[in-house]
């Protein structure tokens, strides 16, 4: 199994189903006549063969969100786009924040999901998760988003526990020309996207882009309209085919944003507890370079290095982080084997200065380090019929020392149109600064005055998962395909909060306060099980239907020595246990597209969010070749609905959104 | 929490709605291909197949001059009418090009180029062995084709179609390829 960005196919099963029935268009052949060999090599094609074959031969629950899906569904941000994949739990907390999970453990920062943008990890070692609001790019420049449900530790390493999300942007070769897109609406109040690309005939291509977004607040029944949000981002990418065997990519992004937020601040002086409405200052940037070299016999090597900067200043905390990362991959094609091995190192020095005295890290400067080595072999026991994949990653992190993530996968392809796969994999979530060095004093009650004091004791260890998975894929007919995956995940050492000694009282300027000390421990274990069913159907060439149904059952418990009475309930009840989605894409003639989406998401009892269903629609019209008008409606079924909690104050209602946009592409 | 019945009822409603919209829309929906100006890789591969003959010399053979220049497809045919359209009206050294479908390697005697469609991996070695006697230029887009003794293999480079040449395999058969073809090839596999 080749789990590395460029080996993964970009087309879905339904793409085959769709194309299989299309008769080749003999009339269009005329335009290729008379082209030289060299010119033929530069013709861009729509691939209909390679992707699906490989996807059907992958022994993992992978789903690929294509550029077409992103564009036609009218999504405006990366988390929204992730809704297009089965088994991903995506909820909007407010205008700025999102909660994302895969196969459970949905949370504001997605602690069990590793997210990579063109191979650059955006997983924060400070708060074990991803700040979704600052992960962005020009959505038109995304080639595809690969969503892998299930542990991916063998290739990707730490924190790829419940899944991996690979966001892959297009090569600069494929973004030549001008793009300008602007629009506005009631929720997404205004946006402007711009891109210019070009290149020469010696294999050098480039693009530069910029975007600005102004989002209005969502619905607040308590009129705390704190979550307005403005941001700007720019970047570039160059791709250079140095010669037939070597290519070099250099890319970078820079962003700056101001997001309104409402945070709970505990103090040791009156009023002890306050909700502070303030603007978070979020900025950062990155630069990445990747060298790829093709070797003999289809083998290749790849060397990637990047630098990433994060600046985050909030009302209650701050983080200033530099990350330096180097990765090497060698992929060998042998007679019946695909062998891949790699090495990686990451250094991430950060400053986390104290903003409020009840929330601080000791020390407030720290360098996180991770070193990894891995190898994986794909062996065809019976060529074209039965393949075994085995591998392991060894990692050494500055938090816990050594961890090993082994995995075994099997793929059986009885016919070219169907396959069965099964896998057993181990993955770990390494501790973060939050569990290790954060000291958090938080008001539990103001009268009487009671605080909890939570800190790490240096003994918090990695959360572990052994995942058992199986799946079936089939092209049932030329128009229907089906993908079914089932999993049984066995977790151990999950995070719990344990009382640490007896409560003590202190006199705070005349008022007696009671302090309950807690430490972060690994006192929870348990299992989750579930299935995702992803059918697709293209009844006629101009109509495509894509469905997905996801079921989840979580069964966690505390270990005997644990006294944590709340975390099991929290973890089990903050991810939806049922989800369904149907996506319908119509081509209404050559200049008109229409898409409809319906989705159902089950309840989140912990946040008092009930199950809901809603829908989106998008109509796009191209009066001229280069111009497109689009009208997008989101969450149309009701004026507002609740998706997740987490902000202080009343639950934030996600509003019905209408957005009009005009796009020029040339 | 909605009961499964409620969800099912909703699904049904949605399906009816979709069907209703469809019925309304049918007269409008035509000419899907006009929307997708990019050719598929098979169109480009067919165009390559109509071109390769100009860059290869076959050993002289009695009667060859009067035969059509046959481009044959062995096994599953991914081209359909595309290949016929690409070859129509083309000539090589005066011989008109024509597409021909064959089902066994033994039928390749009259073929100058044989495109090997998707065949079972395990059969490929046998097929290549049998094709050797026909002196045909073997082409395929199967992965590993040129590595395993095929002459030209189409490869996707991003969304462009390029090709690799196994020069050793070409030379074994007595064919000569021009340097121009080698220059354009993405990779050339030479004799070890």
Q: Over the stretch A243-302, which tens digit does the pLDDT of each residue have?
A: 878 999 999 999 999 999 999 999 998 889 998 999 999 999 999 999 999 887 778 899
Which among B32, B82, B143 has CB closest to A29?
B82
Q: Quick check: A49 contacting B, CB < 8 Å?
A: yes
Whether B40 and A171 lie within 8 Å, measured CB to CB: no
- Alpha-carbon distance A584 to A596, whole Å? 5
Residue A49 pLDDT more than 60? no
By DSSP bridging, strand A318-333 and strand A337-351 are: antiparallel
CB contact (8 A) between residue B158 and residue A171? yes
* A200 in B contact zone (CB under 8 Å): no
In 3D, which of A148, A144, A245 has the Cα closest to residue A203? A245
Please state the rounded mean pLDDT for residues B102-121: 86
Contact A274, A298 (CB under 8 A): no
User: For chain A, first and last CA: distance in Å?
Assistant: 38
Q: Is the distance from CB of A532 to CB of A548 less than 8 angstroms?
A: yes
Give the pLDDT confidence of B46-77 residue by residue, as tens digits. Answer: 999 998 988 888 887 655 667 789 999 988 88
Q: Decide if pLDDT at A47 tops 70.
A: no
pLDDT at A314: 94
Strand A163-169, strand A113-117: pairing: parallel
| Among A38, A294, A587, beta carbon nearest to B32 | A587
**Which pLDDT does position B163 carry in this prediction?**
92
- The tens digit of pLDDT for each residue in A371-411 reads 999 999 989 898 778 999 999 999 999 888 899 999 999 99
Q: Is the pLDDT of residue B115 over 80?
A: yes
What would the two tokens of residue A527 be?
A: 């299992």
Between residues B93 and A186, the one the model is more confident about? A186
Of the two residues A48 and A351, the one the predictor is more confident about is: A351
What digits encode the pLDDT tens for the residues A173-189?
889 899 999 999 998 88
- pLDDT, averaged across chain A: 89
pLDDT higher than threshold 50 for residue A312: yes
Q: Beta strand A592-601 with A578-587: parallel, antiparallel or unpaired? A: antiparallel
The chain-wide mean pLDDT, for chain B, equals 79
For residues B8 and A7, the model is more confident at B8
Contact B160 A588 (CB under 8 A): no
- Window 36-55 of B: residues touching A by CB (8 A cutoff) are 36, 38-44, 46-48, 50-51, 55
Give B121's contacts in chain A (Cβ within 8 Å): 383-384
Closest-CA distance, A625 to chain B, in angstroms, reads 10
A585 interaction partners in chain B (CB closer than 8 Å) = none
% of chain A surpassing 90 pLDDT: 70
List the 548-587 stretch of A: residues with Cβ below 8 A of B: 578, 580, 582, 584, 586-587
Q: For A297, which of B44, B50, B147 is closest by C-beta distance?
A: B147
How far apart, in whole angstroms, are the C-alpha atoms of residue A107 and residue A162?
Answer: 12
Asked whether the beta carbons of residue B159 and residue A45 sit closer than 8 angstroms, the reply is yes
Q: Is the pLDDT score of A304 beyond 50?
A: yes
Locus of tokens 């070219």: A416
Predicted confidence (pLDDT) at residue B26 exceeds the cutoff of 80? no
Which chain A residue's Cα is nearest to B148?
Answer: A335
Report d(CA A564, CA A578) in Å as an integer: 27
Per-residue model confidence (pLDDT) at position B18: 58
Of B50, B80, B181, the CB nearest to A23: B80
Per DSSP bridges, beta strands B56-57 and B176-177 are antiparallel
Is residue A461 predicted with pLDDT exceeding 50?
yes
Q: How confident is the model at residue B85 (pLDDT cuts 50, 70, 90)?
A: confident
Residues in chain A closer than 8 A to B180 (CB atoms)? 37
* B162–chain A Cβ distance below 8 A for any pair: yes
The DSSP code sequence of B134-150 is GTPEEEE-STTTTTTT-
Q: Does A38 touch chain B (CB under 8 A)?
A: yes
Of A33, A41, A383, the CB nearest to B162: A41
Q: Give the model confidence (pLDDT) of A3-26 as tens digits.
A: 333 333 322 222 333 333 333 344
Residue A55, judged by CB atoms within 10 A of its CB (0-12, 13-18, 19+), counts as buried
pTM beyond 0.90: the answer is no
CA distance A267 to A513: 12
* Mean pLDDT confidence for A44-71: 70
In the prediction, which pLDDT does B118 show?
A: 76
A201 pLDDT more than 70? yes
Q: Residue A576 — pLDDT band, cuts 50, 70, 90?
A: very high
Judge whether B32 is closer than 8 Å to chain A, CB to CB: yes
| pLDDT confidence band for A154 (50 / 70 / 90) | confident
* Minimum-distance CB partner of B33 among A25, A50, A580: A25
Is B171 a residue whose pLDDT tops 90? no
Higher local confidence (pLDDT), A362 or A57? A362
Residues of A in contact with B35 (CB under 8 A): 587, 590
Percent of chain A topping pLDDT 70: 93
Helix, strand, coil share of chain A (percent; to 5): 10, 60, 30
Beta-carbon separation of A40 and B7 below 8 A: no
Query: What's the ipTM?
Result: 0.71
- According to the model, what pLDDT value does residue A148 have? 92
| pLDDT, position A303 | 96
Q: What is the CA radius of gyration of chain B?
A: 23
A51 has pLDDT over 60:
no
Whole-angstrom Cα distance, residue A143 to residue A140? 8
Contact: B32, A611; criterion CB under 8 Å: no
Query: What integer is the mean pLDDT of B139-147?
Result: 88
Q: Which of A31, A384, A578 sits opposite B121 (nearest CB)?
A: A384
Tens-digit pLDDT profile for residues A216-259: 999 999 888 999 999 999 999 999 988 878 999 999 999 999 99
């Amino acid at each position: 199994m080749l789990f590395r960005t460029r080996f993964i196919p970009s087309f879905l099963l339904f793409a085959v189903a769709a194309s299989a029935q299309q008769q080749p268009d003999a009339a269009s052949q005329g335009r290729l006549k008379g082209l030289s060999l060299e010119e033929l090599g530069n013709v861009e094609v729509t691939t209909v063969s390679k992707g699906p074959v490989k996807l059907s031969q992958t022994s993992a629950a992978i789903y690929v969100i294509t550029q077409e899906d992103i564009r036609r569904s009218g999504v405006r941000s990366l988390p929204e786009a992730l809704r297009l994949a089965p088994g991903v739990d995506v909820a909007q907390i407010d205008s700025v924040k999102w909660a994302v999970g895969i196969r459970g453990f949905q949370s504001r920062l997605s602690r069990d999901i590793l997210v990579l943008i063109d191979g650059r990890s955006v997983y924060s070692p400070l708060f074990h998760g991803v700040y979704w609001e600052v992960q962005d790019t020009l959505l038109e420049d995304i080639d595809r988003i690969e969503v892998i449900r299930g542990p991916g530790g063998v290739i990707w390493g730490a924190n790829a526990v419940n899944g991996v999300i690979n966001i892959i942007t297009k090569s600069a070769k494929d973004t030549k020309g001008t793009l300008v897109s602007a629009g506005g609406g009631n929720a997404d109040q205004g946006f402007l996207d711009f891109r210019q690309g070009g290149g020469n005939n010696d294999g050098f291509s480039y693009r530069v882009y910029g975007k600005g977004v102004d989002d209005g607040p969502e619905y607040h029944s308590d009129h705390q309209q704190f979550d307005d949000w403005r941001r700007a981002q720019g970047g570039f990418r160059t791709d250079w085919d140095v010669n037939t065997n070597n290519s070099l990519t250099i890319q970078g992004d820079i962003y700056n944003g101001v997001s309104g937020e409402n945070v709970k601040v505990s103090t040791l002086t009156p009023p002890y507890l306050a909700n502070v409405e303030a603007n978070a200052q979020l900025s950062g940037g990155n630069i990445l370079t990747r060298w790829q070299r093709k070797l003999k016999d289809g083998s290749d090597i790849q060397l990637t290095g990047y630098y990433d900067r994060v600046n985050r200043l909030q009302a209650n905390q701050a983080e200033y982080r530099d990350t330096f990362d180097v990765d090497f991959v060698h992929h060998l094609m042998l007679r019946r084997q695909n062998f891949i091995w790699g090495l990686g190192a990451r250094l991430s020095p950060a400053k986390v200065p104290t903003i409020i005295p009840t929330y601080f890290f000791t020390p407030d400067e720290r360098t996180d380090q991770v070193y990894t080595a891995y190898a994986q072999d794909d062996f065809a026991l019976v060529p074209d019929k039965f393949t075994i994949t085995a591998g392991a990653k060894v990692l050494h992190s500055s938090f816990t020392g050594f961890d090993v993530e082994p995995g075994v996968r099997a793929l059986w392809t009885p016919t070219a149109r169907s396959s069965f796969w099964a896998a057993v994999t181990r993955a770990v979530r390494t501790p973060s600064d939050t569990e290790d060095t954060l000291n958090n004093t938080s008001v539990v009650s103001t009268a009487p005055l009671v605080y909890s004091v939570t800190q790490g004791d240096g003994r918090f260890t990695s959360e572990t998962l052994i995942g058992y998975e199986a799946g079936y894929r089939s092209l049932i007919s030329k128009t229907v395909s089906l993908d079914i995956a089932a999993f049984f995940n066995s977790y151990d050492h999950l995070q719990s909060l344990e009382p640490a000694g007896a409560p003590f009282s202190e006199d705070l300027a005349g008022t007696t306060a009671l302090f309950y000390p807690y430490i972060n421990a690994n006192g929870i274990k348990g299992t989750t099980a579930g299935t995702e069913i992803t059918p697709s159907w293209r009844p006629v060439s101009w109509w495509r239907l894509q469905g997905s149904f996801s079921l989840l059952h979580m069964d966690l418990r505390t270990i005997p020595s644990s006294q944590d009475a709340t975390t099991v309930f929290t973890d089990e009840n903050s991810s939806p246990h049922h989800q369904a989605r149907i996506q319908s894409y119509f081509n209404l003639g050559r200049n008109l597209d229409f898409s409809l989406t319906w989705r159902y998401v089950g309840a989140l009892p912990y946040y008092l969010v009930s199950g809901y269903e809603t829908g989106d629609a998008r109509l796009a019209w191209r009066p001229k070749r280069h111009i497109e008008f689009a009208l997008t409606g989101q969450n149309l079924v009701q004026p507002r609905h609740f998706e997740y909690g987490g902000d202080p104050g009343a639950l934030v209602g996600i509003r019905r959104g209408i957005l009009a946009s005009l796009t020029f592409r040339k | 929490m909605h009961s499964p019945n409620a969800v099912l009822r909703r699904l049904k409603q949605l399906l009816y709605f979709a069907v209703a919209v469809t019925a309304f829309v049918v007269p409008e929906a035509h000419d899907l291909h006009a929307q997708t100006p990019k050719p598929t890789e098979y169109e480009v591969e067919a165009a390559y197949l109509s071109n390769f003959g100009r860059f290869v010399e076959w050993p002289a053979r009695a009667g060859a001059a009067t035969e059509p220049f046959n481009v044959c497809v062995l096994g599953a045919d991914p081209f359909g009418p595309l290949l016929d359209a690409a070859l129509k009206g083309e000539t090589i050294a005066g011989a008109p090009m024509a597409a021909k479908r064959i089902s066994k390697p033994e039928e390749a005697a009259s073929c100058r180029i044989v495109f090997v469609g998707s065949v079972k991996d395990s059969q490929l070695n046998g097929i290549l062995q049998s094709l050797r006697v026909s002196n045909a230029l073997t082409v395929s887009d199967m992965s590993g084709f040129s590595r395993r003794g095929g002459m030209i293999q189409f490869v996707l480079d991003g969304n462009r179609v390029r090709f690799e040449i196994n020069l050793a395999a070409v030379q074994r058969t007595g064919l000569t390829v021009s340097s121009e073809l080698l220059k354009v090839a993405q990779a050339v596999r030479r004799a070890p």
